[in-house]
Amino acid sequence: MQITRRWGRAAVVMGGTSLVAGTFLTTVEMPGAPWPGSSGGTHAESLSNFALEHPEVALLHRHLPLAFLREKLENGGELVSGPAQEQYDDRAYPRTTIADAQRRGAAAAFHRLAKDGSGGSTGGSTTSTTLTIPQSLDGYATVGGAWLPLGPATNTVPGPVTYTGVPTTNSGRATAIVALPGCTDGEGNCTVFVGTAGGGVWRTADGLTENPAWTPVSDGAQGIPSGAIGSLYYDAAHDTLYAGTGEPNGSGDSEAGVGLYRTSDGGATWSMVGDSNLVARDRSVGAIVVAPDGTVYMGTDLARHGSSSVNGGRRTPPDAAPLGLYQLPTGTSKFSLIGQWPASAVDPGAGTGTDYFQGGVNHLELDPNDPRTIYAAVFGFGIWRSSPRLDHTAAFKQVFATFNPRDLYGDRTEFALTTKNGHTRIYAGDSSDSKEMSFLWRTDNADVPASALSASSGNNGWIKLSNPGNGEPGFDSYNFCEGQCGYDMFVASPTGHPDTVYLGGSMNYDEIFGTVPPRSNGRAVLRSVDAGRSFTDMTNDSSDVGMHPDQHAIAFVPNADGTVNQDRFFETSDGGVIRVDQAGAVNASAECAGRHLLGYDLLDCQRWLSAIPQRIVSLNRSLQTLQFQSISTYPSDGGTGYLGGTQDNGTWAFDGAENGFETVGGDGGQSATDSGDSDVHFHTYYSSFLDVNHGLDPNHWNYISQPQDSSGEAASFYVPLVADQNRPHTLYEGLQHVWRTTDNGGDWAFLDANCSETDPTRYNPAAMCGDFTPIGPDLTSPAFGDRAGQYVVAIAVAPSDSDVMWVATRTGRLFVSTNAAAENPKDVTFTRVDSPDKGRTQLLPNRFISGIAVDPADPMHAFVSYSGYSAYAAGGHVYAVTFDPDTAHASAMDLSGDLGDLPVTGIVYDGGTLYLSTDFGVLTTSDANRAPVGSTAVTWSIAGTGLPPVTVFGLTLADGRLIAATHGRGAWVLPRSGP
């Protein structure tokens, strides 16, 4: 998640209640009023859901920035809900779950679109459980030129969008990191691999330079057929890198994987390890370790979603492989389950699922004094050790008991092993997200018999280093990841330095926003050199360059002599990858007196800032792993500019070259530009929260959606947002109604003086920020017949006639208006066209409509794409629909052809050529307008070459090019006229 320290205010209106957020000058009121949920209506609980991640926010009168609120008020935060869950629900509709057969069938259908066009018949599904899914599109029939990465390449985050006010660079969420032995300063002297949440594995040989050049290494025919990476492990004895697919972190879009892979040539080629794809089916690989004899140990964990963020789901499939610890002895090909703990109950029929993380193995290490002994951290069960020694029938005994084993999310324990005075020392971080607490423990004799450390003796032999007493050294590690350790947490001790330990978590937001002024720098990463008794704050360096919140992994720089540098490390977070140089080199404790702190707060601050990093170096330039939701375009200096919202990393503006920057923080949704003034831009956070800017200055985004936000109407997580290309200053947003403004949300001078998102001096709590009004009726009303409820999911204004608007709701209703531009909003009328007449046969499928593309030559002719599965609700995935305004009836033609039962995420039309985005790439056909057209007459092909295997959430046409918004590999462009 991205936050902004110096942002001023937000009029956040939820369920009719206005929440005013601010920096050090304003406060946040957190009432118990219900607030809109992503699935429509109001959330069953109050804003206390928000406190699942950040308990300090539930307290009244906290000082918070806008971007923090915009992202974190997300229906329970990282753990519970979010856009990926909504995407899954849309796939499943009208059901609530998706079977593995449909997911695999969709993947097979996409990859079968070869020269013979054997994609499969519309409405069918492939149920084989032995499908071989190609790892790239090499050798497949493609139409068009070559896809090229569009960017952004520089990933600049300007000062106003960072919480310290100092510029940096960001990329998408990075989950794992490995540095190969023998690093020295200079280009080409330090090889680093990073695993990302949606962009696969990347490599650089320049880990100790200022701007390393990153290259994706998991693409291609011999790559990894998943961009979701949860773990990396380097086996130095055999010079082999292992990559565990699937992300075990507890976020709403942590995807399941496809097994364990390895490479012995630096990522040029990858191979599956044994039958890991079977034993890790519908799971993530959260932990890997390899014994000296080559035996592989793999820990599997719950994954929040299926093998892409939109084709699997929160509810674990009933046939998912058992969670636990698996072993693959050298020379064998089948993993065996050697450690299993009771998992959470699976309830596929529950509304949000009741199966959580218990039983997953999230960390593995070999005993440094006896590599035949393995230690495993297990969600909900603490730390376990093989006893007496690891073999094919290893028995495990508990050596550390988590303090809240009945935690809803499954207590997470992370640990680090080291050697002290000839004995095995363990540092253990233990947490409960439901109790919103975390602690640090240590034992100095873990190699004694397990009975001496049994849970029944109350963790005998362990020292609890954390202390809730403010001012005490033990307070440094108390609650170090603020109730969301299930999502972001690490414990690490550099080899050869047993008294040094690092902790990583989220960010202590209450210490940088909740006090005036802050008593810490955020404590996102903590460092101790006295065996965990006290810690210093590594979050900001001596120049106030800061870390991105939400930490996931750390790797110490390995020296050429085989040792590691305890003061120099790489670290990953939701914002990508950084390097910390000369940690502890600067004593900044004198700053604390200038912050006017008193008592224990002053003592804490002085201790935490007594040894901060000299330098934090962002390594994200050229690491193109942003997770885009969609991309819009605008004229820019004779060329084309792009705006795109991203998961957890704000909305970006870029020109496809070196000028990309994050123009606003928070969660990034949809964007648009005024057709009459290319300097006027819009963006949404989530739900209907909407801003406007006359330019792209991060300091001048003004809030304009107060009418919608206070209406109480249901809305999707990312609402549809459309600028009329023929009527300047006209913008539409979809909730239960379609809402409209005809002057860019209101008078700019008024908005800039009263509705600033960035400057508390330009905020007037009594002002109405925005002038949107609903046009026409509530399109989810029972007055329109069946499929009532939910919210608007797609809006398309006819390019040739602004009076004609096509609109879809989540339940598959399709409407056409022929007077959408009527001056009086109440005069606007809509005709439902998915069913020709009451009592007649349904014209279009009862499934989620994912996109509408109106024919530029005929406003009454549109192409409609469908998500979901034909196996669950009959019908195809692409239709041509023609509306007759004289009879108010419509006709439809199924264009699915050989597409197969493949959900579609978006659609664009270009003079006879259709393009579809899917979970696996982009498809195209030129058969859309050929007569006669029928289901079997349309042949679909893969569009272009070179696009990596990645989910594509949206497509945009601009200046003779097709733009793809990918979820983990940034933006890509396909010249329609060829390469």
Three-state SS for 872-924 is CCCCCCEEEEEEECCCCEEEEEECCCCCCCCCEEEEEEECCEEEEEECCCEEE
pLDDT, position 114: 44
pLDDT, position 46: 25
70: left (phi over 0), alpha (psi -120 to 50) or beta: alpha
Q: Are 580 and 616 in contact (CB under 8 A)?
A: yes
pTM of the model: 0.87
**Distance spanning both ends of the chain, measured CA to CA:** 36
Q: Are 66 and 21 in contact (CB under 8 A)?
A: yes
Q: Are 502 and 527 in contact (CB under 8 A)?
A: yes
Q: Which residues contact 592 (CB under 8 A, 6 or more apart)?
A: 519, 602, 605, 606, 609
Beta sheet of 148-151, edge-to-edge order: 148-151, 971-975, 961-966, 952-958
Q: Which of 573, 578, 588, 581 is nearest to 542 (CA)?
A: 588
Element (H, E) at 111: helix 100-111
Alpha-carbon distances of 778 from 42, 132, 474, rounded to whole Å: 17, 46, 56
pLDDT, position 68: 40
Q: Which two tokens stand for residue 160?
A: 């106003």
- What one-letter code names the amino acid at 902? L
Q: Are 155 and 548 in contact (CB under 8 A)?
A: no
pLDDT, position 87: 72
Cα(544)–Cα(541) distance, integer angstroms: 5
Cα(136)–Cα(221) distance, integer angstroms: 5
Cα(754)–Cα(765) distance, integer angstroms: 8
Q: How far is CA 935 from the centre of its chain?
A: 36
Q: Which of 656, 667, 568, 668 is nearest to 619 (CA)?
A: 568
B/e letters for 143-172, b = 16+ CB within 10 Å, e = fewer, are bbbebbbbbbbbbbbbbbbbbbebbbbbbb
pLDDT, position 41: 29
Q: How many CB atoms lie within 10 A of CB 750?
A: 15
Q: Is the bond preceding 94 in cis, omega lying within 30 degrees of 0? A: yes
Q: 14 φ, ψ to 5°? A: -130, 120
Q: Which two tokens stand for residue 317?
A: 């499939």
Q: Which of 764, 748, 645 is nearest to 701 (CA)?
A: 748
Strand, coil or helix: what is 88? Answer: helix
The 3-state secondary structure of 753-799 reads HHEECCCHHHECCCCCCCCCEEECCCCCCHHHCCCCCCCEEEEEECC
Q: What does pLDDT average to in each consecutive run of 10 residues of the chain (979 residues)?
A: 28 25 26 26 27 30 35 42 68 75 79 50 29 37 76 88 91 96 94 95 97 93 89 97 91 81 97 96 94 96 60 61 95 96 73 74 95 94 79 75 84 96 96 92 83 54 93 93 89 97 91 76 96 97 93 95 93 96 90 91 95 96 92 89 90 83 90 97 93 95 95 92 97 98 97 90 92 98 93 96 97 96 97 74 89 96 94 93 94 92 93 90 85 65 88 90 93 72
Strand, coil or helix: what is 381? Answer: coil
The shares of helix, strand and coil residues in the chain, as percent rounded to the nearest 5, are 10, 35, 55
pLDDT, position 707: 97
Q: Which of 91, 159, 274 is nearest to 850 (CA)?
A: 91
Element (H, E) at 68: helix 66-72
Return contacts of 728-732, CB within 8 angstroms, 24+ apart: 728/674, 728/675, 728/676, 728/677, 729/674, 729/676, 729/677, 729/680, 730/675, 730/802, 730/821, 731/672, 731/674, 731/682, 732/795, 732/797, 732/805
Q: How many CB atoms lie within 10 A of CB 50?
A: 22
- What one-letter code names the amino acid at 578? I
Residue 788, judged by CB atoms within 10 A of its CB (0-12, 13-18, 19+), counts as middle
Residue 96, judged by CB atoms within 10 A of its CB (0-12, 13-18, 19+), counts as middle
Q: Are 417 and 365 in contact (CB under 8 A)?
A: yes
pLDDT, position 93: 83
Can you count the helices (H) and strands (E) in the chain? 10, 61
Strand, coil or helix: what is 560? Answer: coil
Q: Which two tokens stand for residue 931?
A: 């007569």
The alpha helices in 636-718, defined as continuous H runs, are: 706-709
pLDDT, position 225: 86
Q: Which of 845, 854, 909, 832 is nearest to 877 (CA)?
A: 845
Return contacts of 746-755, CB within 8 angstroms, 24+ apart: 746/704, 746/770, 746/771, 748/692, 748/694, 748/702, 751/692, 751/702, 751/703, 751/704, 752/694, 752/700, 752/702, 755/11, 755/702, 755/703, 755/704
Q: Which two tokens stand for residue 780?
A: 């989810």
**Any idea which residue has 């079997």 for tokens?**
936
